[in-house]
Amino acid sequence: MKNRWIWIGIIMIVIIGVGGKLYMDKRAKEKQQEDLHDIQVDLAYYIFNNYQLYTVDVEKDKKLNQEYNHGNGTLTTADFLRESDELKEYSKVEKIEFTGFSVGPMNNLEVHYTINDVINKETSLDTISAETNKFLYGIGEHSGEGPYYLEKKKNATNLSIPDDLVVYYHGGID
């Protein structure tokens, strides 16, 4: 009879231990999901207020490059740069879709996302601000492979981003 109570006690301890472990694992996963969601909110806000898209007519750009001919054509460098800027057709960031998270080769968190369904980007998060205790986003001044490019705005805005413009990723880190 005494052994029976010992076995019941051991089984109860095992059940409580396994249950506690499952609860703690579930809570850790929920905490990770909250952190990843906060990163997505902050990054979407940053992109929405600091960046814009542009595209260039390929034929006009090709013609302009022929006229410039690497500085040996009929256009001066100043004229070429001015006319190149005039070819840009700007548009606002209208949608940000987060597509995943991964760990990079330098053990940093990489966020994968698509802007306006035309530019696929990846941002590495490896530096945390001492002032805000949040990640610093290094997207750059200008990026893209064409025909769409992402460019930093000359004057950043401070607008709230409507929730319907962001599609959040609810998976974990791959």
> What pLDDT, in 10s, does the model give residues 65-109?
888 888 788 888 888 888 888 888 999 999 999 999 999 888 888
Task: Please check the confidence at residue 141 and state whether its pLDDT lies above 70.
Answer: yes
For tokens 């009929």, the residue is: 74
Q: CA-CA distance, 60 to 85, in Å (whole number)?
A: 12
pLDDT at 100: 94
Neighbours of 166 (CB within 10 A): 19
pLDDT digits (tens, 9 = 90+) for 28-52: 777 878 889 999 999 999 999 999 9
- Here the tokens at position 39 are 């990163």
User: Regarding predicted confidence, which is higher, 174 or 82?
Assistant: 82
- Here the tokens at position 41 are 């909110």
Which helix or strand (DSSP H or E) is residue 25 part of? helix 2-50
**CB neighbour list of residue 102: distance below 8 Å, 6 or more residues apart:** 109, 110, 112, 173, 174
Distances in whole angstroms, Cα of residue 10 to Cα of each of 21, 24, 37, 45, 119: 16, 21, 40, 52, 58
**Average pLDDT of the chain to the nearest whole number:** 86
* Lowest-confidence pick of 17-21, 51-55, 162-166: 17-21
pLDDT at 17: 81
pLDDT at 1: 66
Q: Report the pLDDT averaged over residues 153-167.
A: 90
User: Regarding predicted confidence, which is higher, 146 or 129?
Assistant: 129
What's the pTM? 0.76
Q: Which range, 1-5, 142-146, 157-161, is most confident?
A: 157-161
pLDDT digits (tens, 9 = 90+) for 6-15: 888 888 888 8
Q: CA-CA distance, 156 to 11, in Å (whole number)?
A: 61
If DSSP codes are grouped into helix, strand and coil, which group holds residue 38? helix
